Amino acid sequence: MTRKLAAGNWKMNGTRAALSELQTLADAHPAPSVDILICPPATLILRAADLLAGTSLRIGAQDCHADASGAHTGDISAPMLADAGATAVILGHSERREDHGETSEMVRAKARAAHAAGLTAIICVGESLAEREARNTLDIIGGQLAASIPDGCTAANTVIAYEPIWAIGTGKVPTTAQIDEVHDFIRARMIRRFGQTEGGAIPLLYGGSVKAGNAAEIFATDNVDGALVGGASLTAADFSPIIAALEGSA
């Protein structure tokens, strides 16, 4: 059975004062039936992982370098993230693809590094509005999957997040039919590449303007195993009902 995951991406938000939100969230979900992961900015990973040791919450990162160490000023490697207490890393988020010119080939190299360091790679794919309107969504997603995902992915070390770029932080959400079409497509590609046992169980997240008010409907969609949540993961008050909706989605 595919495990379910509620993942929060804090992006470039949060200082030490925000750690109290994590404690509140952990207190509200002492024994959740789904996995809960928060990816704060890198400056908070060590403190957050220490704070949450022994709780149900796990801590992840938002990016890593493809190399394990070396002359890469300002970058952080996957082994460093694991050493700080991260268990997962988001890779290929559209904001990194746009802001930092990350290509799918770079994302694949980072995913290999994440796996080698024992981290779960949460690999993001998604189309722009222009690509959707040109009816190219599945071609774009198929190309991103083929180029961004390394060999050797398993249900334990990989998560795929479908994040239509036009839905991120905009309040616009695809219809459940649109989500269903893309998630079924991703599931078929994962099974074709990694086989039924692993490809059939790699968790598939939807991301893009998920809120308490739309979470249950999204989680009822076939092949949606959870969500990658930006804005609504910043406070326990906003994220907790999304976790509860996922727990209720059996």
Catalytic annotation present for 198: no
Catalytic annotation present for 72: no
**Shortest spacing between CB 170 and ligand PEP, in angstroms:** 7
Name which of 79 and 208 has its Cβ closer to ligand PEP. 208
Burial class (CB in 10 A: 0-12, 13-18, 19+), 16: exposed
Name which of 8 and 85 has its Cβ closer to ligand PEP. 8
**104, 143 Cβ separation under 8 angstroms:** yes
Minimal CA–CA distance to 42: which of 7, 9, 71, 6? 9
Name which of 79 and 89 has its Cβ closer to ligand PEP. 89
Site string for ligand PEP, 186-215 (x = CB under 6 A): ---------------------xxxx-----
| Active-site annotation holder among 65, 93, 115, 183 | 93
Structure tokens at 106: 């770079």
Position 62 contacts ligand PEP (CB under 6 A)? no
Structure tokens at 22: 């994590």
Instruction: Output phi, psi for 205, to 5 deg.
Output: -100, 150
**78, 119 Cβ separation under 8 angstroms:** yes
Position 228 contacts ligand PEP (CB under 6 A)? yes
Binding site for ligand PEP (CB under 6 A): 9, 163, 168-169, 207-210, 228-232
